[in-house]
Structure 1
Amino acid sequence: MPSTGPTTTHAGRALIVSITDQLVHGEGDGGAGALVTELLTEAGFVVDGSVTIASDAGDIRNALNTAVIGGVDLVVTVGGTGVSPRDVTPDVTGEVLDRELPGVAQALRWSGMAAGVTDAVISRGLVGVSGSTMVANVAGSRTAIRDGLATLIPLAKHVIEELSDPEI
C-alpha cells in the first residue's frame, strides 16, 4: 500500500561559516550561526555544522575550501562583507568561486533595502559556485540574516537542483 504521509526530502547539505572580529576579544558570533542554522533547517536543509572563525583571509579560505572539498551543497558565510579593511570575506570568496552569481548577490542587497535597511547596499557580499557548491556571503546583523536568507533560500534550492541534475 503506498504511503500517504509526507515524504522526507531535504534541500541539500549546508555549512555555516561565521566570520567575526569578536574572537579576538574572546567572544563568539553573537548567535549568528545558530540563527542561520535554524532558518536553513526550517527550509529543509541538513546543516552539517557551523564554525566561527576570525576575520582572517587564510582562515576564511581554508573554511571555504574544506566545505567545497567536503561536498556540501551550500555554504553561507556570515559577516565580514562591509567596507572596512578587516572585511575580507568577499575578497577571499571571489578567489574560491568558479562562477559568480551577481544577480543573487544583488537580490540579497535589495531585499535588505526593501526591509528598510538602507545600509544593505554597502555590503560587498558575493554569491557564486565553486565546483558543485553554492557559496553565499551574508552580512552579520540579525536583520540582514533574516532578510537575506528569506531571499537566498529559494534561489539556493534552484541552483543546487541545477548543479545536481546531470541532464542540465
Structure 2
Amino acid sequence: MTTAAASVGRALIVSVTDDQVHGDGDHGAGALVTELLVEAGFVVDGSVTVPSEALDIRSALNTGVIGGVDLIVTVGGTGVRPRDVTPDVTDEVVDRSLPGIAEALRWSGMAAGVTDAVVSRGRVGVSGSTVIANIAGSRPAIRDGLATLVPLAVHAIEQLSDPLP
C-alpha cells in the first residue's frame, strides 16, 4: 500500500491488457498512475492487471467498490477494437454516469494534440460512493488524463461524501 501525507481519498488502479498473458504486464502504466495519484494526495490501495475479459474487469471493479475506495482508474481497453470492452463493463457497474468528465478527458487529450483521444470510448461514472474512470493506456494519455481527471474526481468525491441529502 502506498500512502500520502494529506489524503483526498483511496484509489485502486485496474490495468486492462492482454499483454499480461504473454508476461509483459501493463508496461508500467499502473506504476505511473500510482505515482501521479499519490502526488495528487490519494492513498493507492493497489494496482491490479487483468486481461481484456468482461468477467475479469467486472470482478476488479466490484472489488474496489465493495472495498470502499473513492476512485477506481482503469487504464486501457477504451478504443474501438473488438476486445476493448472496458467502457462496456464500466457501464454495467456504474449506477450513474458522469458524461461531462468523460468528455473533458477526450477534449483535453485533443487539445494536447492527441487526435486519437476523441476515438476513446472511455466512461466515467459512480457506483455506490466510488468514482470509476476509464483512461487510455499510453503514457501521454495517462499523464494528460489524470491532470484533467484528478480535480474533477476530487470534486465528485467531495459531493459523494457530503452528508446533506
TM-score greater than 0.5 by the shorter chain: yes
1:58 has 2:55 as partner? yes
* SS of 2:82 mapped into structure 1: coil
* Runs of at least 5 residues in structure 2 that lack an aligned partner in the other structure: none
User: What amino acid does structure 1 have at the position aligned with 2:102?
Assistant: A
Q: Which has the larger radius of gyration?
A: 1
Letter in 1 for 2:60: A
* Cα distance, 1:154 vs structure 2: 0.3
Q: For residues 128 and 93 of structure 1, what CA distance do their matches in structure 2 show?
A: 8
Residue correspondence of structure 1 range 41-52 to structure 2 within 5 A:
41-52=38-49
Gaps of 5+ in 1: 1-7
Q: Please give the alpha-carbon distance, in whole angstroms, between the structure 2 residues aligned to 1:52 and 1:61.
A: 12
Are 2:136 and 1:139 aligned?
yes
- Which of the numbers 60, 64, 68 marks the counterpart of 2:65? 68
Opposite residue 104 of structure 1, the aligned amino acid is I
Residue number among 90, 112, 127 corresponding to 1:93 in the alignment? 90
Matched, 1:117 2:145: no
State the distance in 2 between where 1:27 and 1:146 align: 21
State percent identity of aligned pairs: 78
Mapped to 2, the partners of 1:126 and 1:53 lie a distance apart of: 18
Count of residues in Structure 1 that have an aligned counterpart in Structure 2: 161
State the shift of 1:67 in Å.
Answer: 0.4
Aligned to 2:158: 161
Which of 120, 123, 126 is the matching residue for 2:123?
Answer: 126
Cα drift, residue 9 of structure 1: 2.8
CA deviations 1:47-92 (Å, max 9, x no partner) are 0000011111000000000100000000000000000000000000
**TM-score, normalising length from structure 1?**
0.94
Q: Which runs of 4+ in 1 moved over 3 A?
A: none
Distance 1:56 1:27 in 2: 17
- Post-superposition Cα deviations, 1:80-121, rounded to whole Å, max 9, x if no partner, equal 000000000000000000000000000000010011000100
Q: CA RMSD in A?
A: 0.7
| Separation (CA, whole Å) in 1 of partners of 2:142 and 2:8 | 19
Q: Distance in 1 between matches of 2:51 and 2:23?
A: 11
Residue deviations 1:11-31 (CA, integer Å, cap 9, x gap): 100000000010122211000
TM-score calculated relative to the size of structure 2: 0.96
- 1:90 is aligned with what amino acid? P
